[in-house]
Amino acid sequence: MLLLHTSDWHFGMPVGNSNYQEDQLFFIEELARVIREERAGAVLLAGDVYDSGKVSGEAIETWNQAATRVCRDCGIPMVVIAGNHDSADRLAACSELLKNSGLYIYGRLRNPVEPVLLDGERVAVWPLPFFQTDAVCARWPEKAEDVKNQAQAMTVVLDSIRERMGQYPHNILLSHSMVSQAEVSDSDRSARIGGAGAVPAAVFDGFDYTALGHIHKPQRMNSRVRYSGSPMAYSFGAEEIHEKGFVLYDTETGEQRFVPIRQLHPHRSVAGTYDEILSMRRELENCWLNLTVTDKLAGPELYSEMRERFPYLAFLRGRSIETGEISGALTGEEMMAMSDTDILKQFLQENESNVTPTEEQLTWFEKAMLSADEEGLQ
């Protein structure tokens, strides 16, 4: 049986003043294409369906389209576990009913862990949603004294599975967890904070294949433990060059194969003068952009102008009004939140030969703006 391993979809993730829904709908179609072309028999989704526990209606609709595309249109089952970004209970709502449609969703850790049986019960997929040590202590109270860290907690859970998996020819573990030595990128927000929750890859010994989620860069942890990575980039920097796609695992041969997919809007970080960046318009207008304009002040006027030329502008840097140095990356929302005083300073620097207003002038300006606001003239 050919299993398609994927993870970290992060529906609802914001970018700049927008979100990634258009790109996510595109990779859903890429997923359906790969399923058809490769004749995959099931999809394993290793957590982080959503980017946040507070799920928007738009993100729910995107998930609905994805599940419908796989289970109804492609006609194959999908096994899904909650990740640390998901609201476990919300994700798993109506999970018992959805099994009849081939959609198996697991929100919280259970004791015992029950497998999803595929391929005439020859393939057992053991779903292991994201969990913390206290969940193991609560569900395996007799082992609580042995659980001091995440690695020990994982061992308790996996030992309970290993005791029962001998009856199945093929055993696949589906887990959302942090493995020691995994290479993270900027979009792995929670994974970058310390390593206390990491477990060694050896803890998964005994399974034919461990399909991992949580880390966005595709990578092997050993010959049988692997991250599929996210199907699209969710940050700038290293992820701009990561190859994105899905992992195909053949239960009969043990073969693993990474299948790259197309990206609707690649991520690009670009620095240059105003004229240099405009000269690259054709090359950049279809990319998510992190722009640094080295010879202009960062502000609403520059942001609006660049956004008009580059519709997928996510972040903009320019020279700081206060220091003249390159500022930190700002979104359009932050640009538009600049105070009237900041806008005045920028105007004078850009249009009045780098004039800096005095404190007295700023005081008079603020009084004038307040008066105009009170009279409804703004």
Measure the CA–CA gap between 14 and 31, rounded to whole angstroms: 22
* pLDDT tier, 193 (very low <50, low <70, confident <90, very high otherwise): very low
Encoded amino acid at 334, one letter: E
**pLDDT per residue as tens digits for the range 119-132:** 999 999 999 999 99
For residue 359, name the pLDDT band (cuts at 50, 70, 90): confident
Provide the 8-state DSSP code for 179: B
What does the domain layout of the chain look like in residue ranges?
A: 2-260, 267-374
**DSSP, res 132:** -
Query: Taking 60 as the threshold, does the pLDDT of residue 216 lie above it?
Result: yes
Q: What is the per-residue pLDDT across 41-88, written as a single tens digit (0 to 9) for each?
A: 999 999 999 999 889 999 999 999 999 999 999 999 999 999 999 999
CA dihedral 139, 142, 148, 153 (to 10 degrees): -50
Identify the residue whose tokens are 């862990």: 113
224, 1 Cβ separation under 8 angstroms:
no
Per DSSP, the three-state class of 374 is helix
| Six token digits for residue 189 | 């927000």
d(CA 31, CA 4): 9
Query: What element of type H or E holds 45?
Result: strand 42-45
2-260: CATH, from 3.40.50.10470, 3.40.50.150, 3.60.21.10, 3.50.50.60: 3.60.21.10
The dihedrals phi and psi of 159, each to the nearest 5 degrees, come to -65, -35
Average pLDDT, the chain: 88
Quick: pLDDT tens for 294-340: 998 878 889 999 999 999 999 999 887 556 566 665 555 454 454 55
Q: Read off the pLDDT band of 140 (50, 70, 90).
A: very high
Tell me which DSSP letter residue 102 carries: T
What are the beta bridge partners of residue 42? 3
Pairing outcome for strands 103-106 and 116-118:
unpaired
Helix (H) or strand (E) holding 330: none
The whole model's pTM is what?
0.84
What is the distance between the alpha carbons of residues 264 and 262, in angstroms, rounded to a whole number?
A: 7
Compute the half-sphere exposure of residue 243: CA atoms within 13 Å on the CB side of its CA: 7
